[in-house]
Structure 1
Amino acid sequence: MSERADCALRAAEAGAAVASGSFRDGIAVETKGQKTDVVTQADHDAQAQVVSTIRDRYADDPIVGEEDEELGAVPDAGPAWVVDPIDGTNNFVRGIRTWTTSVAATVDGEPQAGATVCPVLEDTYLLDSGTAYQNGEELSVSDRTDPEEFVVVPTVWWEFDRREEYAAACAGIVERFGDMRRFGSAQLELALCAAGAVDGVITNVHVMPWDSLVGVGLVEAAGGVVTDIDGEPWRHDSRGLVASNGQAHDAVLAAAREAEDVR
């Protein structure tokens, strides 16, 4: 394992262990402006543990984090770390098992290594040297080619004033593909695409880097395709995120663009 992948894994595992200690334990919940944008003390404590673990080995690298005083944007040059202590906090506070701790190591804004740990599900996804792994086994996206056999996920969150876009994206999925899922954690949804469990993940909104970088790296390393809403290669500052197994990416992209028609 490369040094940065090892650090990402150890940091994600350490943060996940802290968060797990508060899962289903009646923890207090606050909002960060929107009613559905929640945060808990577990988020802060888990991020502190992740940051401490990274700092033990990379004292001077910039760290981008969802919570607290870390940077809010990924540097375009040089190495950096991107941290999401609990991706899927709404699931976490409701006692739903689908949440993760994710840590990405980037160089020049691109994911080079990373880990997404799902402690309650007992699954760990690792990106290392251009290869994606789940629990130590190498991953590959699905080989399905028929869109009517696809399962596609509408990911992240459309605010209340954008619900027509949310509805249009869902309609775009159910009209084209076999079925739809929604798990409430973008990092987990992208990891599942890399593992071939789902065939596409879509949104037309900007996805924050802590919600996406590890997952995007996993999908691409597993042989999939990730673009923005215009079909261009995805970056951490792109608008929209469309991931697929690459077999019918145009159809997956078309479903995402349904949301554009009602903006």
Structure 2
Amino acid sequence: MTEDADERLAVAESAAKAGSEVAGRSFKQGIEVETKSEKTDVVTEADRATQRRVIEVIRDEYPEDAIVGEEEDELKEVPDEGDAWVIDPIDGTNNYVRSIPVWTTSVAAVRDGEPIAAVNDCPALGDSFVAGPDGVRRDDESVTVSDRTDPETFTVAPTFWWGFDRRDEYSAMCRELVERFADIRRFGSAQVTLGMVAAGSLEGTVTNVDPNPWDTVAGVHMVRQAGGTVTDLHGDPWRHDSESLVASNGEAHDELVEATKRVE
């Protein structure tokens, strides 16, 4: 199992790097932007081209595996059985199209619904987060979650975005977090945010919005492999089909859960 996970991690690294190179060529180049379901739900040809490149690298080694991807006609749910790959070609497209460097190409290898290897490559930031059987690396340096224990020193992040008909929930989330913790951030990329929790830059991140697997699976694996805790807003272990997400360094996790529950 470990040997196979190592092999899949190597492919995930190659695929994420190849994809981010494609995305990087169009970054800050005034690329045409399209909208999907909402005005803030945007996509570019770079998203589609990046996903195709990631899949090409994976298919060279694992031609029969299922592919879950945000764009085009790939699967939209993670199968509970067998080997699969979960891809977000550009997580943080709203940042990408505004020339903000907080975006990543995300690739996770999954077996029977559980991640076994994950990579978030962030070329504009100069960072690469890698999670395998032996822990988590950022730029080839081993990292772990923050060791802070006092919530009044925590920096946490509300993540994902609330539609126009749910902005009151975003306001409520911010209120709950600023009343309980030292500071908040919002980066516009769930995968980068989860990587920051895994690397100890943040103590936690939360959402009561239903997350997509391509926005979460890789980063969740990173947080857990780095020693953190990831649940839903009820405190149950997070799965790829959970309807909320609470990730933390494991300290004061219950308080993050309570903050998220109060928004509901």
**What TM-score, normalized by structure 2, do the two folds share?**
0.97
In structure 2, the residue matched to 1:249 is: 253
* SS of equivalent to 2:23: helix
In structure 1, the residue matched to 2:46 is: 42
Q: Which moved more, 1:249-258 or 1:82-91?
A: 249-258
Cα distance, 1:121 vs. partner?
0.7
Of 137, 140, 165 in structure 1, the residue corresponding to residue 141 of structure 2 is 137
Q: Distance in 2 between matches of 1:89 and 1:245?
A: 27
| 1:116 matched to 2:117 | no
Q: Sequence identity of aligned pairs in percent?
A: 56
| 1:17 matched to 2:21 | yes
In structure 2, the residue matched to 1:85 is: 89
One-letter code aligned to 2:70: E
| 1:103 matched to 2:114 | no
* SS of equivalent to 1:101: strand
Structure 1 stretches lacking a partner, 5+ long: none
Q: Distance in 2 between matches of 1:228 and 1:150?
A: 20
Q: Distance in 2 between matches of 1:259 and 1:93?
A: 30
Cα distance, 1:130 vs. partner?
4.7
One-letter code aligned to 2:235: G
* SS of equivalent to 1:30: strand
* SS of equivalent to 1:207: coil
Of 33, 36, 49 in structure 2, the residue corresponding to residue 32 of structure 1 is 36
One-letter code aligned to 1:31: T
Q: Distance in 1 between matches of 2:239 and 2:219?
A: 12
Alignment coverage as a number of residue pairs: 260
Check the 8 A contact 1:86/1:99 in 2, yes or no: yes
CA RMSD of aligned residues (A): 0.8
Cα distance, 1:126 vs. partner?
0.5
Report Cα offsets for 1:42-99 as digits up to 9, x if no partner.
0000000000000000000000000011111100001100000000000000000000
One-letter code aligned to 2:87: V
Structure 2 stretches lacking a partner, 5+ long: none
Q: Distance in 2 between matches of 1:167 and 1:88?
A: 21
Q: Distance in 1 between matches of 2:122 and 2:176?
A: 29
**What TM-score, normalized by structure 1, do the two folds share?**
0.98
Q: Distance in 2 between matches of 1:70 and 1:130?
A: 30
| 1:236 matched to 2:240 | yes
Check the 8 A contact 1:15/1:46 in 2, yes or no: yes
* SS of equivalent to 2:136: strand
Q: Distance in 2 between matches of 1:142 and 1:194?
A: 8
Q: Which stretches of structure 1, 4 residues or more, deviate above 3 A after TM superposition?
A: none
Of 208, 214, 219 in structure 2, the residue corresponding to residue 215 of structure 1 is 219
Q: Distance in 2 between matches of 1:248 and 1:257?
A: 15
Provide closer, same or farther for how the CA distance between residues 130 and 253 of structure 1 changes in structure 2, counting only shifts above 3 A: farther
Report Cα offsets for 1:170-189 as digits up to 9, x if no partner.
11100000000000000000
Check the 8 A contact 1:112/1:130 in 2, yes or no: no
